Amino acid sequence: MLLLLQNQFILYLACQYLGQLPILTELSFYYSPSRSLNEHNYGSQNWHLDNDKSYRLKLFYSPYIVDETSGPTTFIPCCFTKGLAYPNYPGYFTDHEAKLAGFPIEKSCQLTTRPDEFFLVDTSTCFHFGSRTSSGSRFLLIAGLSPHTSFLNPFKIRKLHSTAYGFPFYNRHLRYSAIL
């Protein structure tokens, strides 16, 4: 991942989009085990914006194939949702709530990838949801790039997420080791 972030073309794109040299604000590894979700699921599997910053770029990369069976990240391009009311602001909302609010879910895009591909998405302006896996697992690295000026506002605080990710032994070991 760090090699991707040092790539001059990616840095150029980020600089052009953000209008300044970006800083790395997030570097996360997500594991989504195979499971079945229903309409009443919670968390990143429902629609939302990353609304702690007005704009940012997130680089999505998986060392494995991500396809429809492994739960790709899904987003609606901002050109189709600009000006629509955010249901359940600032939280998550279901497909049903999105349809009631007039969101064009049929315009959504899935980030399916091979190990030699990555995506850049502004998750502050594009409504999106994470993995909704049914038959496959998903491994995903996400790097968040933000303008350094976005940290000048002391009232914007990044949401904290659980660190369970389906690795209870590993997480328990980290919690009680000298590493943390």
pLDDT per residue over 78-90, tens digit each? 999 888 899 988 8
Q: Identify whether the C-beta of residue 120 lies closer than 8 Å to the C-beta of residue 58.
A: yes
User: 48 has which bridge partners?
Assistant: 128
Q: Identify whether the C-beta of residue 145 lies closer than 8 Å to the C-beta of residue 25.
A: yes
pLDDT at 64 over 50: yes
Up-side HSE of residue 155: CA atoms within 13 Å toward CB? 1
Task: Please name which of 131, 110, 137 lies closest in space to residue 121, comparing C-alpha atoms.
Answer: 110
In one letter, which amino acid is 137? S
Up-side HSE of residue 29: CA atoms within 13 Å toward CB? 9
Is this prediction's pTM over 0.95?
Answer: no
pLDDT at 147 over 60: yes
pLDDT bucket at 134, cuts 50 / 70 / 90: low
E-strand ranges in the chain read 22-32, 57-61, 74-76, 109-110, 118-121, 127-129, 138-147
**Structure confidence at residue 23 (pLDDT):** 87
Report the run of H or E that residue 4 belongs to, with start and end: helix 2-5
**Structure confidence at residue 160 (pLDDT):** 44
Q: Identify whether the C-beta of residue 64 lies closer than 8 Å to the C-beta of residue 115.
A: yes
Q: Domains along the chain? A: 2-176 (2.60.120.620)
**Three-state DSSP class for 49?**
coil
What is the spatial distance between Cα 104 and Cα 69, in angstroms, rounded to a whole number? 23
